[in-house]
Amino acid sequence: MLGTVDDHDFLGNDQAVSRRLQAKAAWARRLHRQFIQACNEKPLRATYPSLNEAASIEDVGFAQGLGLAQSALLGSDVKLIVLDNRSYAEKLPKDPEQAATCLGPAQLQWLAGELVGGQRVSIVASGSTLRKGPRKGVRGSPLSDFGQELRLIERLYAAQSHQRILHIAGDLHHNCFWPVQPQLPHVREFASSGIGTGWEPFAAYTRKNFGLIEVQSSGLRVRLLGEEPDWNADEWISHEL
């Protein structure tokens, strides 16, 4: 089991990591690592690990600019790349021409290296979508707000035109998939927000969203499921370009 953080798992809705909040951010990363480690223990513990154990978990990768980023091969043809879009997120400036960081230079350099390889498919998982969501009322906190980083990510994706790239995310409080961009025909983007799915207080579980990706020898089957049929999807993405 691998995972990453969305804003509500971290510091609050769309919260930037200021110097004042660094200690809380470090705790969020430790608790995240504790949860992932506990889920990967076999057999599972009878009781959940204590906060004292979380305090002893090393904040691996933060000083190197990688935060919670990690990757794993799913067989020989598919690589899962998990990004950390919270640990280095800066507050967006009022002037859109001023640059702000979401992933940070070290993580972007790491992503560039992870995309290069013999895999036929790269699944890039992030707490943030690349583009804004189309549904009125919830736009999420897309990487398009961080224009310079988005353009760099798109260049990294464009350079890997020999493989399929699937960018998956949450944060929108509903299911969503975007049309193929003509300049990036080998890239698809899907989002599914599983728990924070309500529009109003106490309506949080009415849509029951979740997504499934089935990795098969010839391609990927991507399904977005929930109680709003118009926002669901069942798409086959062939490995062949």
Three-state secondary structure readout of 142-154 = CHHHCHHHHHHHH
Instruction: Point out which residues pair with 223 in neighbouring strands.
Output: 212, 234
pLDDT in tens, 114-138: 999 889 999 999 989 999 988 877 7
Other CB atoms within 10 Å distance of the CB of residue 138: 16
What is the tens place of the pLDDT at every residue in 152-181? 999 999 999 999 999 999 888 789 999 999
Percent of the chain with pLDDT over 70: 93
pLDDT in tens, 30-68: 999 999 999 999 999 999 999 999 999 999 899 999 999
The predicted model scores a pTM of 0.92
Whether residue 185 is preceded by a cis peptide bond, meaning omega within 30 degrees of 0, is no
Asked if the model's pLDDT at residue 75 lies above 50, the reply is yes
pLDDT of 204 over the 60 cut: no
Instruction: Write down the domain spans for the chain.
Output: 64-238
* Count of Cβ atoms closer than 10 Å to residue 151 Cβ: 12
Q: How far apart are CA 86 and CA 134, in angstroms?
A: 23
- What pLDDT was estimated at residue 111? 98
Cα 168 from Cα 165, distance rounded (Å): 10
**pLDDT grade, residue 29 (50/70/90)?**
very high
Looking at residue 202, what is its pLDDT? 47
CATH number for domain 64-238, candidates 3.30.70.260, 3.20.20.70, 3.10.580.10, 3.60.21.70:
3.60.21.70
Chain-wide mean pLDDT for the chain?
89
Of 155, 139, 15, nearest in space to 85 by CA: 15
Neighbours of 60 (CB within 10 A): 14
